Amino acid sequence: MTVVDKSVAIPGDLLSDDASRAGEGTYVEDGKVYAHYYGIINDREKIKIIPITSKYIPKRNDVIIGIVTDIGFSNWIIDINSPYDALLHISEYPERLEMYNMSKHLRIGEMIMAHISDVDYKMKTELTMQDEHAGILRNGRLIEISHNRIPRLIGRNGSMINMLHKECKCKIFVAQNGRVWLSGREENVDLACEAILKIDNEAHTSGLTDRISEFLMVNKGRIS
């Protein structure tokens, strides 16, 4: 009787009578599942609601791209494109450093790739750079898209991102917080940026991978 017949949910919408199907973005009351967000319904075994727009909220083990905003006594304070700031402790830097020369290695305004080692109940977020893909990102280009669309940019089993890598012949790092870092030849990066912004704009449409593939084919002549 309460089969979901449309793709968009509004907070308070009844989604299912079966409480065991409650997924992310839903809540259960009196054994029924309701929507928490204004978002797109993902109706698999579990019903999930993916908000159309929302702020990035840090989660443990996410890989993020951050920008150093301040240096504390033994931490760097990192902007992670979220209402919450993150902390990178001196001991989580790949090399052993002393407090007095922190700013020699990582300065305000620099960009890092790191992963979230812990988020506590007060949303105090801690980062670590002792990780294989962690590092400082110098030279290259950063673009920001909505973090809700990152799964589309990666594609199923990485299909979308692999295609971009192959066709644009440049380095692309995608972080969970909606930041994408690219480096390579100017023309190649230009094309990759355009493709990514196209994905961001058309994230909710079907057949996206095919359309992006077509877009890359048409513009193939621009890259070297």
Residues 6+ apart with CB under 8 A from 218: none
Q: Minimal distance in Å, beta carbon 117 to other proteins? A: 19
- 84 is an interface residue for other proteins by CB under 8 A: yes
Closer by beta carbon to other proteins, 22 or else 129: 22
Minimum CB distance to other proteins, residue 168 (Å): 23
**Least Cβ distance, residue 97 to other proteins (angstroms):** 28
What Å distances lie between residue 44 and 10, 20, 27, 164, CA to CA? 18, 12, 16, 28
Nearest-approach distance from CB 59 to other proteins, in angstroms: 13
- Residue type for 31, please? G
Two structure tokens written together for 86: 């993150």
Instruction: Tell whether residue 209 is a contact of other proteins (CB under 8 A).
Output: no
From residue 192, alpha-carbon distances to 53, 86, 117, 173, 185 in Å are 23, 29, 30, 12, 11
Q: Which amino acid is at 133?
A: H
What are the phi and psi torsion angles at 21 (to 5°)? -95, 5
**What part of residues 168-207 is at the interface with other proteins (CB under 8 A)?**
201-202, 204-205
Residues near other proteins (CB under 8 A): 6, 8, 10-14, 25, 27, 34, 36-39, 51-55, 57, 83-84, 121-123, 201-202, 204-205
